[in-house]
Structure 1
Amino acid sequence: MTIKALGYVGIQSTKLDDWSGFATSLLGMQPVDRGGAVRTFRMDDRKQRLVVTGDDKDGLGFLGWEVEDAAGLETMAARLDQHGVAVRRGTRALAVERRVGDLIVFTDPNGHRVEIFHSPEIASDPFLPGRPISGFKTGPLGMGHVVLNVDNIEVAMRFYRDVLGFHVTDYGLKPYPLYFFHVNGRHHSFAMVGSGKQSFHHFMLELQSLDDVGQGYDLAQLDEGRVAYTLGRHTNDHMTSFYAHTPSEFFVEYGWGAQVIDPATWEPFETHDGPSLWGHERLYLPEDQRGRLREMRLDAARRGVRVPNPTNCAWLDSVIASE
């Protein structure tokens, strides 16, 4: 029994009202609850995917990882206990709040709260986006992905790979160590950057249509300073996306077209072409840091680096490769 998807993300924020506008009018999520110091949002048939809680600080509140059933939850609890991780059972009240059947709670080596759950509640009414979009790519692939800055990547690697059972998809070592992990067919549901910091870098939402992303990019540019990375394409997962500053101290990646892998046959490898094939100019960085990343993209362009024509189907890709 293993973790099968990223189920939900919880955010702490000093700007609840700003999050309400950002999550609906730009990202296209559906507001659900607006009670007290909590705002929750839907992306699909799940009753909630994003939880924003009022706090005196901004950042990641918790990550919710899904397992198949109660037996899977017990297996993960026992595995964590065997590795000396302090685990506690979530209360009934917390399960109701998270809209799940049951859950366990613990802390990762970077001090982030992690929850593992089973049996998420399914809504009876259809998803109604906050702005006209084709919808989010979720289902078996989960909510999207999350990326953390970590101060000790070796310790974090041992925890997420060896304890939680995440699988390395690929990794890069320049200009900083960067590891990507999959738990299903999504190229990565989790990644970490060995930046020497301990913080939340971003979460990613994948859309069903490139036009959803393009129109979101237009909307983001109307809000001065909202765009953090310009529109671009990632080298490893082939995602076309832009990054937006959230009302808190991290980003949201808004993208389309990532490759879907076959976890049964995938072999991890090192990448050498930098994080982006084109675009993704990091507007928030000082010019010297932007310049180093820009040169990596230009070098890839000089060498004519391309990604394969996407079919977005692991099975079809394998058939084409065999022929």
Structure 2
Amino acid sequence: MAICALGYLGVRSDKIDDWSDFAGHLLGMQKIDKGGKAVAFRMDDQAQRLLVSDEPGETLAFMGWEVEAKDDLQGYAGRLESAGVEVHLGTADLCDRRLVGAMIWFLDPMGNRVELFHAPMIALDPFVPGRPIDGFQTGPLGMGHAVLHVKDIDVMLPFYRDLLDFHVSDFGLEPYGLYFFHVNGRHHSFAMVGSGLEGFHHFMVEFRNLDDMAQGYDLALLDEGRVAYTMGRHTNDFMTSYYANSPSGFFVENGWGGRVIDPETWQPHQTHDGPSFWGHDRLYLEKDDPARLALQEMRLGAAARGRRAPPVAECPWLYGELTKHRK
């Protein structure tokens, strides 16, 4: 019994036109007209990865996590119900709207809607990006990762780790609590920010081509206020990325070159270098904001200690590409 990937995300927003431009033009997703008050987007051969519904709230509506086998849905339902969690079976109509074969759904301790599903629909026609890109790193790795603001990590951690089998990749305690979880080879498909807040922090999409991500950065810079974090590189998953302000106020990380781990041998551990080796300056905060200054100090400290990612050839994804072309 296992959850194997982040399959899709849903967002509540009455800014449908803004999302169409943001996800289609800036991110490069393919817009799928759902008719009525919703718009969906593709990232690959899966028929639907992001669904934006015309509803008030401007926040996360649901997270869809794929399971390896249909029987896993019953297994997780039994485990959750034994722990006192109310579990709902996805109706035929709901499965049709999500474009999946079967599903269950429930709420986590902070009220976030979690959907577990099996058999996502595969589109018959090829993926056509919204701008010229080579596509996204998806497949067995899922659509990317999702990150929540968390009021009480001590409540949320056992829910995702013990009930849903999310595996801790690493965690940091300064300048605030950060926990990262993997469900496949992607370093993390889920994370929690111990900000003391509630809601959606960001989701991440990973581009196959560095230039596609960086050209999106140029586009974002043309739109005043669109860039939330400058270009930078993370210390734990080695992702080079920038963060954009979405139409709904939360962030979307645009990344490239993320770390691929071996889940069978990976050991969870505490990190001490802060979130980034360099960059990722929080432009949405005032220059003298204590949080912004603390993160800047951590980046400069990591640099002073010579902390950096491994050489390029040790990056699992790129190393695989290099060795493939040598054959």
Query: What is aligned with 1:313?
Result: 316
Give the share of equivalent positions with the same residue, in percent: 62
Query: What is aligned with 1:242?
Result: 242
Residue 295 of structure 2, aligned match among 293, 296, 316: 293
How far the C-alpha of 1:313 sits from its partner, in A, is 2.5
What is the TM-score when the length of structure 1 is the normalising length? 0.96
Map 1:109-188; keep pairs closer than 5 Å: 109-188=109-188
How far the C-alpha of 1:250 sits from its partner, in A, is 0.2
1:303–1:312 Cα change, 3 Å = closer
How far the C-alpha of 1:111 sits from its partner, in A, is 0.6
Q: Which runs of 4+ in 1 moved over 4 A?
A: none
Question: Could you tell me how far apart the structure 2 residues matched to 1:196 and 1:205 are?
Answer: 25
Moved more, 236-245 or 284-293: 284-293
Map 1:50-89; keep pairs closer than 5 Å: 50-89=50-89
Question: Could you tell me how far apart the structure 1 residues matched to 2:56 and 2:97 are?
Answer: 21
What SS does the aligned partner of 1:299 have? helix
Question: Could you tell me how far apart the structure 2 residues matched to 1:29 and 1:5 are?
Answer: 19
How far the C-alpha of 1:11 sits from its partner, in A, is 0.2
Query: What is aligned with 1:279?
Result: 279
Question: Could you tell me how far apart the structure 2 residues matched to 1:106 and 1:209 are?
Answer: 36
How far the C-alpha of 1:137 sits from its partner, in A, is 0.1
How far the C-alpha of 1:33 sits from its partner, in A, is 2.1
Does 1:195 pair with 2:195? yes
How far the C-alpha of 1:114 sits from its partner, in A, is 0.7
**Aligned amino acid, residue 313 of structure 1:** P
Structure 2 unpaired stretches of 5+: 321-327
Question: Could you tell me how far apart the structure 2 residues matched to 1:125 and 1:80 are?
Answer: 37
**Aligned amino acid, residue 303 of structure 1:** R
Query: What is aligned with 1:303?
Result: 305
Question: Could you tell me how far apart the structure 2 residues matched to 1:276 and 1:312 are?
Answer: 17
Question: Could you tell me how far apart the structure 2 residues matched to 1:290 and 1:26 are?
Answer: 26
What SS does the aligned partner of 2:3 have? coil
Aligned length: 317
Does 1:92 pair with 2:92? yes
Question: Could you tell me how far apart the structure 2 residues matched to 1:55 and 1:90 are?
Answer: 21
How far the C-alpha of 1:83 sits from its partner, in A, is 1.3
Question: Could you tell me how far apart the structure 1 residues matched to 2:33 and 2:77 are?
Answer: 30
Moved more, 74-83 or 305-314: 305-314
What is the TM-score when the length of structure 2 is the normalising length? 0.95
How far the C-alpha of 1:79 sits from its partner, in A, is 1.4
Q: Deviations over 1:124-178 (max 9, x none)?
A: 1110000001100000000100000010100000100011110000000000010
How far the C-alpha of 1:69 sits from its partner, in A, is 2.2
Question: Could you tell me how far apart the structure 2 residues matched to 1:171 and 1:97 are?
Answer: 36
Query: What is aligned with 1:208?
Result: 208
How far the C-alpha of 1:66 sits from its partner, in A, is 0.2
**Aligned amino acid, residue 205 of structure 2:** L
How far the C-alpha of 1:73 sits from its partner, in A, is 1.3
1:295–1:228 Cα change, 3 Å = same
How far the C-alpha of 1:291 sits from its partner, in A, is 1.2
**Aligned amino acid, residue 298 of structure 1:** L
Query: What is aligned with 2:22?
Result: 22
Question: Could you tell me how far apart the structure 2 residues matched to 1:199 and 1:285 are?
Answer: 18
What SS does the aligned partner of 2:294 have? helix
How far the C-alpha of 1:312 sits from its partner, in A, is 3.7
Query: What is aligned with 2:325?
Result: none
**Aligned amino acid, residue 7 of structure 1:** G
Question: Could you tell me how far apart the structure 2 residues matched to 1:57 and 1:182 are?
Answer: 28
How far the C-alpha of 1:34 sits from its partner, in A, is 3.6
What SS does the aligned partner of 2:157 have? helix
Query: What is aligned with 2:323?
Result: none
How far the C-alpha of 1:246 sits from its partner, in A, is 0.3
Q: Deviations over 1:215-270 (max 9, x none)?
A: 00000000000000000000000000000000002000000001100000000010
What SS does the aligned partner of 2:237 have? coil
How far the C-alpha of 1:301 sits from its partner, in A, is 1.0
Question: Could you tell me how far apart the structure 2 residues matched to 1:165 and 1:56 are?
Answer: 32
Query: What is aligned with 2:9?
Result: 9
What SS does the aligned partner of 2:236 have? coil
**Aligned amino acid, residue 69 of structure 2:** D
Question: Could you tell me how far apart the structure 2 residues matched to 1:145 and 1:56 are?
Answer: 24
RMSD across aligned positions (CA): 1.3
How far the C-alpha of 1:208 sits from its partner, in A, is 0.2
How far the C-alpha of 1:21 sits from its partner, in A, is 0.6
